[in-house]
């Protein structure tokens, strides 16, 4: 008689119900590994991402996590931990991890995987209160967690230089590596794409200030996604014909065909999904000069970054696209960027090795 195979159960925990890099990575994990693992997603609220999970027939439930601690969500977390229904609990965001870190003190659960996905610039640096709190959580879980997974060299170096010496495995949130043969040409007007979700910390205030102050003739601003600033951006598009607000576009290829250059305005990025997706499609990037952007855009010229976080600095960088050979320089630089480390298949295989390690450890 053939023995029935039970897929190990994995709970993927994420706080935000929006669609961003963290949520896209969750979908990628499930799509690639659902034949081997039985996934359920726990989210901090209802939103666009919950509807997308529902559309794709993926199991999920809402914990209603607000801020860093909600008493009802915490008791629900304790119930999840004590039932031991899941073979692995994969904590996939810093804030969501707080509930399970504290719950772990009471439940003594050991089957955790903790993915460091959202490191918002220096906000989680060990120098700050949030960073110290996060390090405390890592120390608390360290003996029970399967692996602390760093998504960038910046994160790895930041923690290695602190008093906490964690165990890291370089697993990037992967993408499909595409091969492009067609040579891109700069349109007139120059089409700039802004893809990050519409939240203030993503830099939309800087964009609005620059457009209102300079208008920038010769450019079009193609803005995608949704968020708390959607209404403000929609009003901007009605006041300035150069602003094209397109909302959320599910088909990435269609979205990336709409613009010539990706404009990355945020000072605080976790992974920079859209940065690498643009590079993989042969689209140059103009970004703020941060450690993470420098890492993702390795071998990129200085002209591709605006140095001061000001509307004037951003405007001066963009103007170079019209008056110099900057566009061709950036295109040439894309050829030198090592995309292999972002290959989706390789990185999901690395994550699966982590899962296997946890399961084998549990059996022993």
Shared domain check, 351 and 320: no
Considering the domain architecture, whether residues 80 and 154 belong to the same structural domain is answered as yes
pLDDT at 275 (0 to 100): 86
> Can you give the pLDDT at residue 298?
83
Task: Give the model's pLDDT for residue 118.
Answer: 44
The answer to whether residue 130 sits within a structural domain is yes
Residues 138 and 217 placed together within one structural domain of the fold: no
Rg (alpha carbons) of the chain, rounded to whole number: 21
Do 34 and 147 belong together in one domain? yes
Instruction: For residue 271, tell me if it sits in a domain.
Output: yes
The reply to whether 258 falls in a domain is yes
How many structural domains compose the chain? 2
> Which ranges of the chain does DSSP label H, i.e. alpha helix?
21-33, 48-55, 71-83, 94-107, 129-142, 153-160, 204-214, 230-239, 252-256, 273-280, 291-296, 311-323, 326-334, 344-363
2 is a domain residue: no
* Amino acid 168: pLDDT: 59
Q: Would you state the pLDDT for residue 59?
A: 96
Mean pLDDT by 10 residues, the chain (364 residues): 72 83 85 95 88 93 75 87 89 72 73 60 57 62 53 61 58 69 82 91 92 94 92 95 92 91 83 82 92 83 93 95 90 88 84 85 68
Q: Per the confidence metrics, is the pTM higher than 0.85?
A: no
Mark whether 110 and 196 lie in a shared domain.
Answer: no
Claim to verify: residue 275 and residue 305 sit in the same structural domain = yes
Which residue's entry shows tokens 């090592």? 338
> How many CA atoms are closer than 13 Å to the CA of 38, on its beta-carbon side?
8
The answer to whether residues 229 and 337 belong to one domain is yes
Which residue matches tokens 């450690």? 291
Q: Is residue 276 domain-shared with residue 353, that is, in the same domain?
A: no
| 257 lies in some domain | yes
* Residue 162 confidence (pLDDT): 58
Same domain, 279 and 321: yes
Give a yes or no: residue 4 inside a domain.
Answer: no
Whether 133 maps to a domain, the answer reads: yes
Is the same domain home to 325 and 354? Answer: no
Q: How far apart are CA 343 and CA 175, in angstroms?
A: 6
- Is the same domain home to 212 and 77? no
Is 243 a member of any domain?
A: yes
DSSP state of 198: S
Residue 228, domain CATH: 3.40.50.2000
Check residue 127 and report its DSSP letter. T
Q: State the alpha helices, DSSP H only, in 221-343.
A: 230-239, 252-256, 273-280, 291-296, 311-323, 326-334
Q: Tell me the C-alpha distance between 258 and 266, whole Å.
A: 21
249 and 357 in one domain?
no
| pLDDT at residue number 1 | 42
pLDDT of the residue at 71: 83
Domain hosting 210: range is 190-341
């Amino acid at each position: 008689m053939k023995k029935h195979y039970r897929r190990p159960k994995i709970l993927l925990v994420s706080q935000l119900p929006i669609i961003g890099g963290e949520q896209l990575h969750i979908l990628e994990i499930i799509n690639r590994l659902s034949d081997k693992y039985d996934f359920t997603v726990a989210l901090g609220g209802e939103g666009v991402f919950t509807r997308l999970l529902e559309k794709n027939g993926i199991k999920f439930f809402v914990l209603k996590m607000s801020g860093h601690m909600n008493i009802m969500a915490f008791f629900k977390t304790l119930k999840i931990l004590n039932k031991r229904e899941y073979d692995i609990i994969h904590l996939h965001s810093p804030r969501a991890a707080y509930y399970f870190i504290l719950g772990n003190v009471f439940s003594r659960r050991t089957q955790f995987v903790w993915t460091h996905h959202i490191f918002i610039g220096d906000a989680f640096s060990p120098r700050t209160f949030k960073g110290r709190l996060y390090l405390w959580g890592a120390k608390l879980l360290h003996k029970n967690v399967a692996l602390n997974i760093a998504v960038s060299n910046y994160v790895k170096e930041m923690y290695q230089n602190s008093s906490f010496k964690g165990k890291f495995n370089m697993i990037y949130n992967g993408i499909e590596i595409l091969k492009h043969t067609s040579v891109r040409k700069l349109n007139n007007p120059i089409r700039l794409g802004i893809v990050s979700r519409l939240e203030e910390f993503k830099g939309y205030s800087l964009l609005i200030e620059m457009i209102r102050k300079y208008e920038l003739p010769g450019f079009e601003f193609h803005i995608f996604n949704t968020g708390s600033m959607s209404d403000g951006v929609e009003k901007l598009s009605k006041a300035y014909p150069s602003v094209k607000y397109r909302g959320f576009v599910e088909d990435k290829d269609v979205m990336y065909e709409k613009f010539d250059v990706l404009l990355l305005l945020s000072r605080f990025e976790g992974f920079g999904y859209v940065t690498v997706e643009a590079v993989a499609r042969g689209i140059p990037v103009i970004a703020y000069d941060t450690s993470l952007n420098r890492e993702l855009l390795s071998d990129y010229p200085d002209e591709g970054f605006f140095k001061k976080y000001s509307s004037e600095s951003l405007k001066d960088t963009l103007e170079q696209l019209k008056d110099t050979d900057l566009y061709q320089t950036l295109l040439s630089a894309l050829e030198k960027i090592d995309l292999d480390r972002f290959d989706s298949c390789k990185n999901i295989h690395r994550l699966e090795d982590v899962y296997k390690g946890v399961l084998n450890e549990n059996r022993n």
